[in-house]
Amino acid sequence: MTRPGPVELPAVHEAWLPREHSLHRPRHGGKQTGALACAAVFFLAPLAGLALGARPAEIENRKLAAFPSPVEGWAFFTDLPAWATDHLVFRGDAISIADGVSRGVFGEPPQLGTRAGSDSPLGTHEGPAPGFDITTIPRVIEGTDGWLYLGDEVAVRCKQDVPTAETMRQIRAVKEGIEASGRDFLLVIAPDKITVEPEHLPQRYPGQDCVRPVTDEFWRLIKEGNLALDLRSEIHRVAESRGVPVYPARDAHWDDIGGLLMARGIAEWLRPGVTKDWVVADGEPWRVPADLPPLIGRTGDIEGRHYSVKPDGVREQARDVPQDFTTPLHLNTTSGPGTYGRKVAMLGDSFTIRAKRYLGAAFGDLTLLHYKQLQEGDRQAAIKMLVDSDVVVFEVAERALVKGNSVLFAPEVVEAMLREMSANPRR
């Protein structure tokens, strides 16, 4: 007897099966339509705003997320939300409204500054607890007397990409490699605000147990290895003598005094005593928007002043220079006593901005470039700039070195850089 084969049933959507069937699933048509509509509004609103002439603002201390490339595969979909969020035209206004409601109604700052919404663990000053979630650290930590701190300065201490000891090994390898090519090398570290002005931090804040042990280890190893120019003592001395902090209360970067101290420190390291006759005097005041308030939906300005620098005690040499240094910026308008004349190539970050006018007063042949060009721009051109110099200077923010992710010490960059310098030594 032949057993009948399986019966071929017509394809039926699972929502059309009887409710008693184990594979039945409701269609939720109305909810799905609403969800799709919300998704369309979220992703298409930036495009609509652009079509109407509105432009999103950079309200965080970084560039807006770029539109992901379709050729990136699945990454296109995972990167799309970041682009859509950044390019919401009225995002800044929405953050301001949320901040006002939270403070006015509930008497506390909103949680929009955190990297996630979970509760923030506070430890017992014995280091971060196992599994500590850095997403609980706010982007901005609100301190006393209106002071604000960049949350990333805490987060990088709670979760390092590279251990501090390994970062020191990388720095030493770069230093020895550049010096072996016949060039002088100097690493300048721009201290974090949380390092030099900690007294306004709140009594308790997420991640505080990471800060002291990591910071102490970092600077101890820098000092023991004689690996960098440490400006902390000069910053403290000048801040105390003038009665004004070098880091403004609502900004993550130093003011002109910090830039001046860096320029002077580099010149002194290269040629001790070169700045002994410098005459420095107050110059024009300035006022600009602070960089931290917009991250929590607020606004605010910082004030400072430029300074006059006469390296020989007579001639004014400090002057305004172009702000942009994403392409090589050559400064060569100074000369004479109190200045340094050898060819210097310097890679820096945002802390270099306040130093440019004073670097131009101290160095007769200096080329500046933002080190992000090693990653985002023409790496070969950046390396060529270093190869064509007698002195190589790196300026890096402390937080980048603590985290251990600076492109300056990435293996592929170091290999290419040292290979070119070794092939073209300076005598």
Residue range 322-365, pLDDT digits in tens: 989 999 999 999 999 999 999 999 999 999 999 999 999 999 99
Residue 107 reports pLDDT greater than 80 = no
Strands annotated E in 196-297: 229-230, 279-289
Closest CA to 99 of 136, 150, 139, 61: 139
- What are the residue boundaries of the structural domains of the chain, listed by start? 148-423
d(CA 383, CA 345): 10
Query: The pTM is what?
Result: 0.74
CA–CA separation, 224 vs 121, rounded Å?
34
- The whole-number pLDDT of residue 378 equals 87
Pairing of strands 391-397, 344-348: parallel
Contact 190, 395 (CB under 8 A): yes
Token pair 């008693």 is found at 20
pLDDT in tens, 179-229: 999 999 999 999 999 999 999 999 999 999 999 999 999 999 999 999 999
**Tens digit of each residue's pLDDT (9 = 90 or more) over 239-297:** 999 999 999 999 999 999 999 999 999 999 999 999 999 999 999 999 999 999 999 88
Q: Is 82 helix (H, G, I), strand (E, B) or coil?
A: helix
Distance of CA 8 to the CA centre of its chain: 62
Both tokens assigned to 5: 């084969």
Tens digits of per-residue pLDDT, 148-178?
999 999 999 999 999 999 999 999 999 999 9
